[in-house]
């Protein structure tokens, strides 16, 4: 069935891993979280383009996957070409779901909620030009929502007021009342879907690309000549000096039975 390495700066990629697992339950999965370098949303293009190809190369040399999924919008919209050039296996990146959001919007006013890095990338401008030229597109970056999602998955309570504060510039600003679709352009944000829904009064569709990525993984794997399945537990590699009990619990909740710390040479 094959073996996928799912990669994100933290737990965000678990929202994608869950969709992949739903579609491909027999797929072996490894997961890597770049804990020591998070948040990516605040890093420069140069920093990400320098770090990610080398890090992903080291990770693939460690777990030998058949396919790599960059389950991070900030990394994908910044350094996908550089990562692909460094690896010898297929690499799938997440793309903010601007196309479906524009297609389903009736008010033709949509918002893209991502990290500060993602919402200013040229890649996103190009998606808007190509797929949402008939829409008004409001861009909103948030670093705090990433941290809130990390805390939620570590078992800490989430205060809805924190979420409302992050969303206020989007919905209370000009044209905010017209928004009827929000692109969750950071993989951490689907982990807060319930809280996001509970924080707004207007009717909004919250759209992510997890299911689309899972379909893409299925399609790419179907064209690969895969070695017979390698038995082995699904493993999470946490980039950093050590793991914490909360972190281990989070990954075990998502069926990553082994959780190990890993310090790359970077
Ligand atoms: N989950 C990531 C994304 O999709 C990045 C979060 C961060 O580290 O800023 O953009």
Task: Report whether residue 3 contacts ligand 1, using a CB cutoff of 6 Å.
Answer: no
CA of 78 from ligand 1 middle (Å) equals 11
More confident residue, 22 or 265: 22
Average pLDDT over the chain, rounded to an integer: 96
> Does this chain's domain 3-94+211-262 share its CATH topology with 98-208?
yes
Specify the CATH class of 3-94+211-262 in words: alpha beta
**CB of 12 closer than 6 A to ligand 1?**
yes
With 80 as the cut, is the pLDDT of residue 71 above it? yes
Question: Binning pLDDT at 50, 70 and 90, where does residue 232 land?
Answer: confident
Q: How confident is the model at residue 100 (pLDDT cuts 50, 70, 90)?
A: very high
Q: Is 140's C-beta closer than 6 angstroms to any atom of ligand 1?
A: no
The answer to whether the CB of 9 is under 6 A from ligand 1 is: yes
* SS3 label, residue 31: strand
Global pTM reads 0.97
Residue 31 near residue 14 (C-beta atoms within 8 A): yes
Cα 191 to ligand 1 centroid, rounded to whole Å = 12
Cα of 208 vs centre of ligand 1, distance in Å, is 13
Distances from the Cα of 79 to the Cα of 25, 47, 149, 175, angstroms: 29, 10, 23, 32
pLDDT in tens, 147-181: 999 999 999 999 999 999 999 999 999 999 999 99
Q: Mutate which of 31, 187, 239 to test ligand 1's pocket (most atoms within 8 Å of Cβ)? A: 187
Rounded distance from Cα 35 to ligand 1 centre (Å): 11
User: What's the CA gap between 209 and 73, in Å, rounded?
Assistant: 10
Q: Which of 6, 186, 214, 221 is catalytic?
A: 186
- Domain 98-208 is found in CATH 1.20.1260.10: no
What is the Å distance from ligand 1's center to 95 Cα?
Answer: 12
Render pLDDT for 131-156 as a digit per residue (tens, 0 to 9): 999 999 999 999 999 999 999 999 99
DSSP 138-206: EEEE-SHHHHHHHHHHTT----HHHHHHHHHHHHSSTTGGG--EEEEESTTGGGGHHHHHHH--S--EE
| Ligand 1 neighbour 96 (Cβ under 6 A) | no
Q: Is 187 in the pocket of ligand 1 (CB under 6 A)?
A: yes
CA dist 68 and 79 (Å) reads: 14
Tell me, using a 6 A CB cutoff, whether residue 39 lines ligand 1: yes
Known catalytic residue: 135?
A: no
Kindly tell me if the per-residue pLDDT of 57 is higher than 70: yes
Domain ranges of the chain: 3-94+211-262, 98-208
Specify the pLDDT at position 65: 95
């Amino acid at each position: 069935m094959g073996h996928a390495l799912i990669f994100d700066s933290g737990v965000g990629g678990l929202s994608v891993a869950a969709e992949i697992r739903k579609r491909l339950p027999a797929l072996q999965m490894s997961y890597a979280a770049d804990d020591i370098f998070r948040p990516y949303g605040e890093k420069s293009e140069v920093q990400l383009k320098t770090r990610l190809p080398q890090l992903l190369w080291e990770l693939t040399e460690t777990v030998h996957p058949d396919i790599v999924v960059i389950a991070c919008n900030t990394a994908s919209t910044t350094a996908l070409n550089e990562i692909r050039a460094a690896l010898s296996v297929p690499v799938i990146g997440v793309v903010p779901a601007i196309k479906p959001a524009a297609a389903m919007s009736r008010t033709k006013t949509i918002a893209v909620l991502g990290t500060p890095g993602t919402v200013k990338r040229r890649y996103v401008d190009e998606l808007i030009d190509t797929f949402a030229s008939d829409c008004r597109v409001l861009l909103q970056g948030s670093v705090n929502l990433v941290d809130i999602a990390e805390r939620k998955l570590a078992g800490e309570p989430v205060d809805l007021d924190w979420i409302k504060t992050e969303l206020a510039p989007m919905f209370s600003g000009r044209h905010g009342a017209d928004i009827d679709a929000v692109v969750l352009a950071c993989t951490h944000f689907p982990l807060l879907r319930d809280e996001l829904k509970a924080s707004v009064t207007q009717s909004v569709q919250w759209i992510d690309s997890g299911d689309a990525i899972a379909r893409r993984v299925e399609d790419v794997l179907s064209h690969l000549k895969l070695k017979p399945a390698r038995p082995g537990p699904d493993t999470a590699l946490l980039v950093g000096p050590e793991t914490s009990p909360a972190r281990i619990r989070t990954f075990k909740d998502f069926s990553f039975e082994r959780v190990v710390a890993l310090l790359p040479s970077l």
